[in-house]
Structure 1
Amino acid sequence: MSRAPQAKIADKRRLDPRERELEIVQGAVAFFAEFGFDGSTRELAARLGITQPLLYRYFPSKEALLDRVYEEVYVNRWNKDWESQLRDRAVPLEDRLVRFYQAYAKVILNYEWVRLFMFAGLKGLDFNARYLAFLRSAAFDLIAREIRREHGMPVDGPILDEEAELIWGLHAAIFYLGVRQFIYGMPVPDDRDADLALRVRAFLRGMPAAVGDLIQSEEMEEARRTG
């Protein structure tokens, strides 16, 4: 398994409060990624070379610190430009998706992101549910509508849950590369960009046909109910 990044040890000089807060957050990200969320704030403070009271001056509870860790890892690393790039119809859809997933993989396929996500699920924290709800609104529905538009399907109305599940399957397959590397310590493809491009092409060969069948079935059922 790839080695954990070493948590930054705070120096003893007086820091600007914003610098100190960021230092604590970055240290917490590295600490919890290595030890899981059962790691104590006392241990974290010792790891950072600060006192526990100083840590609590910035974060009054462990829960407040975990919320800030979530924001740092899962919110701040999302690039809003990805959404506009996915909508850029001057670029072929396959190229848009390949570009998005290659950029997205650079953000999520690292030791901290993967291990924090796994530890959160095992601990019963809400990181996973919050992030997946965010993905549904920021990416899944957008990708589904672009696929519908590309293949002449209706784009108005809600996206079917089944469509979101198919897109989540692609995301999950990409995330699993990180699980293989940072949880199981197993090898992953040497050329990640080429592997991701292949996965997107395979997805686009099957998704439109499956969605077309779903929409047709929904329309037939609606006609039966109203006919």
Structure 2
Amino acid sequence: MSRKPPIKRERVKQRRLSPDDRRTEIIAKATEFFSEEGFGGGTRALARKLGVTQPLLYRYFPSKDDLIREVYRTVYLEPLKTGWDKELSDRSRPLRVRLQTFYETYTNTIFTRRWLRIYLYSGLKGLDMNRWYVGMVRDKILARIIRECRHEAGLAVQSKPTAAELELAWVFHGGIFYYGVRKYIYDAPVFEDKSQMISDALDIFLAGFERMAEASADRRRPPVKVVG
């Protein structure tokens, strides 16, 4: 009985990557992994999931925390370098137009399953990067929006946002954020016209801020005309 000749298996040559390309590939794979699995587990299991050896992973990232910080920088910090602060403060354009444009751009960035899942996982784990992002939203986005609303309402712009103003802004911002959570995390039905959703939320926020401004002692009074 003749034996069949052994089947020759061609060895698949793996494409050699430059150190920069390898680092980018590891970050991309880690981002997908963290978005689906969270931040638990050790570096050995992480390396196996990423398809690299543990020594190779350590060569690029000495610890898992270093890799997490790099994922955070790539996913959260880089998209922020888009001149949003200048757009919000460009008073040559109507305030409502600026706010609508900003939230269209902002939600285009954060409304992905990957972005939202990493954000929620990091919050549950109590990571510093989540707290930093919340602080950034408060100081760089909401404080700027309040400043522009105060200018529009004739209030003292130099004054720091009050606790009530910040809370109103958080309710507005958080409502828009939770729209993304419902759609991309819970797969719940939402009003599909995102632009209209933002516009409706702006109606409520701007009306609420106007009422708050009317009761504010910081409102600048017009100069009294002297007759005679």
| Cα separation, 2, equivalents of 1:114 and 1:212 | 37
1:197 has 2:205 as partner: no
Deviations 1:86-116 (A, max 9, x none): 1111111011100000110001111011111
Deviations 1:169-201 (A, max 9, x none): 222111111211233221222111111111112
1:58 correspondence with 2:60? yes
Mark the runs of 5 or more structure 2 residues left unpaired by the alignment. 1-12, 219-228
Contact 2:146–2:161, Cα closer than 8 Å, also in 1:
yes
Residue 103 of structure 1 is matched in structure 2 by: 105
Q: Which residue of 1 aligns with 2:133?
A: 131
Supply the distance in 1 between the matched residues of 2:25 and 2:171 (Cα, whole angstroms): 35
Letter aligned with residue 24 of structure 1: I
**Unaligned runs of at least 5 residues, structure 1:** 1-10, 218-227
Percent identical = 42
Contact 1:32/1:39, CA 8 A, preserved across alignment = no
CA distance in 1, matches of 2:110, 2:209: 24
**Aligned-residue RMSD, C-alpha:** 1.9
Structure 2 CA distance for aligned equivalents of residues 209 and 79 of structure 1:
34
Is 1:140 equivalent to 2:146 in the alignment? no
Higher relative contact order (CA 8 A, sep 6+): 1
Which secondary structure state, in structure 2, belongs to the residue aligned with residue 77 of structure 1? helix
Cα distance in structure 2, aligned partners of 1:71 and 1:186: 29
Contact 1:153 1:212 in 2 (8 A): no
Matched residue, 2:217: 216
Q: Deviations over 1:146-185 (max 9, x none)?
A: 0000010111132223322221222211111121123322
- Between Structure 1 and Structure 2, which shows a larger proportion of helix residues? 1
**Aligned residues of 2:153 and 2:213 also touching (Cα < 8 A):** no
Distance, in Å, in 2 between the alignment partners of 1:36 and 1:25 is 15
Compute the TM-score of the two structures, normalised by the length of structure 2: 0.84
Return the TM-score normalized by structure 1.
0.84
Match of 1:83 in 2: 85
CA separation of 1:178/1:163 partners in 2, compared to 1, >3 Å: closer, same or farther?
A: same
Larger Rg: 2
